[in-house]
Amino acid sequence: MTLSLLDWGVLLAYLAVVLLIGFYFARRNTSTEEYFVGGRRFRGWVIGLSLVGTSISSITFLAYPADAFKTGWLRYLPNLALPVALFVAAYVFLPFFRRGNMTSAYEFLEQRFGPSVRVYGALAFIVAQLVRLAMILWLLSLLIQQLVDVTPTTAIIGAGLFVGLYTIIGGIDAVIWTDVLQTVVLMIGGLLCIWVVVEALPGGLGQVFREASAAGKFALAEFDDGTPQPVRWQPSLSEKTVTMMLLIGLTNWLTEYSSNQNTVQRYCASRSMKEARRGLWVYLFTALPVWAFYMLLGTALWVFFQHYPDPTAAAVLTGEARAESIMPWFITEYLPSGIAGLVVAAALAAAMSSLDSSINSVSTVSIVDLYRRHLRTGLSDKHYLTVARTVAALVTVLMILGALWLNGASTHTLQDTSTILVSLFGGGMLGLYLLGFLTRVGDARAAWCGIGMTLLFTGWTVLTNKGLMPAALSAPFDLYYTGLIGNLVMFLVGYGMARLFDRRPVAAA
């Protein structure tokens, strides 16, 4: 697969703009307040679009169209819980983080439960983000290799250094504004793709809806040999049902908007409570349509390849080729010169917008929650700013090394490693925050009892998943629900132990 000179020109122009944004904001970063939260001056629409950029990653650009192309719209279902989660976040979570000029999500944990719980939350976030960074960079390198004839090592190192450079020098200002740009580019790229499809079909967009509907491609269903199999609605812990997938979606979104530093840092960077809430609504009314649009793009590609048969598309439908390869194939083989370059830029934007946010967030948490709070207290702000940049550089190196390791590992190893690490260190975080937000009881002892029990529970499910537990002791539920149950364990054990210790209620922060 090769790109034309015009495509390369468009792509390089986009990358140059991203890099210039980083250098432009570098001159502003004279304090940690600027580097971490941009002086707390961002308007809601900027925060909202940056949240879209942070959350979409490569899943939106590659996995959503791939899933809709091969099956139906079942993957979209958990997203329908987002409005409920954002309403709770705007009126329950957000006020806690807007008090006292917080910078980190884990400052609240210290106010509510003490410094040891704050350290746990910070370390759990850092571990999870390092795993996430390595995975996203590795996935980005796969996309680059499909589009350009380079080695995996070159793709990983080149992409990692580029994202790291503008993030390290530009701080949160560069992260937020490049995320806004990347969100816009992603939307334009998708529109161009579907425009090419619609122009090629005699019946246009109407033909897409007619033929896809007749084949059940819009169904919220599992597919078996190309035939949609309806998913039940009844609550169940032994199978995936509509109700349970909505609950999983609600749990994931509530976790994202209660305890994820990538999100909370946007709350703190907003000009006011009003602007922070406005950012959440901008995110809601942008993200849901964008995700739906990329699902529609996958459905449209299915109709397109019904009329223009292609061996690669057929191999995806039969399972002989990875479903995620359909978008890169369509871009390089069917898009006109110039448009292909912009769409490739959109694909890169989808991954870079997640990488830059995580690098900056890990740097922020490392300094605010660990280094300045416990390791080196009372030093000058200039010192902490220098260390923050150093940490961002170190995170970039670890991200690259992790992606290089994943490139040499099997897919099975990749999935197992990421699932185990993220589950063990991040499990129950929503339950912990809900204990702090919704109750006035409990201290560090109750929180640690909940954390310990959640770690034991998650470890049990990991051993079950790897077949290391006797049948009689294996988890009697679908492991898809581990996170949901883990958060319940965290909240109930923490609350129960708080009552057992019978301490006087403490005021919520």
Q: Choose one of 344, 375, 408: the last residue of a domain.
A: 408
Q: Is 244 within the bounds of a domain?
A: no
**What digits encode the pLDDT tens for the residues 12-36?**
898 899 889 988 988 888 899 999 9
CA 132 to chain centre: 8
Distance CA 9, CA 124 (A): 42
Distance CA 125, CA 178 (A): 23
pLDDT recorded at residue 412: 45
Instruction: Give the burial string for 217-245 (b: 16+ CB within 10 Å, else e).
Output: bbbbbebeeeebeebeeeeeeeebbbebb
Where are the alpha helices (H) located in 148-241, listed in sequence order?
152-200, 204-214
**What digits encode the pLDDT tens for the residues 297-351?**
999 999 999 999 989 889 988 888 888 788 888 888 888 888 888 888 877 887 7
**What digits encode the pLDDT tens for the residues 461-499?**
878 877 778 877 887 877 778 888 889 999 999 999 998
The SS3 of residue 506 is coil
List, in sequence order, every residue forming a beta bridge with 228; answer none if it has no partner: 223
Termini Cα distance of the chain: 56
For residue 427, give the nearest of 490, 479, 476, 497 by alpha carbon.
490
| CATH number of the domain enclosing 192 | 1.20.1730.10
Nearest-5° Cα angle at 177, 173 to 180: 150
Low-confidence ranges of the chain (pLDDT < 50): 412-415, 509
Distance CA 421, CA 494 (A): 22
User: What average pLDDT is seen over the chain?
Assistant: 86
Distance CA 340, CA 45 (A): 29
Same domain assignment for residues 376 and 492: no
List, in sequence order, every residue forming a beta bridge with 227; answer none if it has no partner: 224
Distance CA 445, CA 377 (A): 26
Same domain assignment for residues 363 and 432: no
Same domain assignment for residues 481 and 381: no
What are the structure tokens assigned to 269, written together? 């960077």
Is pTM beyond 0.75? Reply is: yes
Share of the chain above pLDDT 70, in %: 93
Distance CA 299, CA 360 (A): 36
What are the structure tokens assigned to 387, written together? 């260390």
Q: How far is CA 61 from CA 106, 158, 488, in A?
A: 31, 21, 33
Same domain assignment for residues 316 and 402: yes
* Structural domains of the chain, count: 2
CB 458 within 8 A of CB 427: yes
pLDDT recorded at residue 390: 95
**What digits encode the pLDDT tens for the residues 239-257?**
778 888 899 889 989 998 9
Q: Is 339 within the bounds of a domain?
A: yes
Range of 388's domain?
5-228+254-408
Burial of 408 (0-12, 13-18, 19+ CB in 10 A): exposed
Q: Is 236 within the bounds of a domain?
A: no
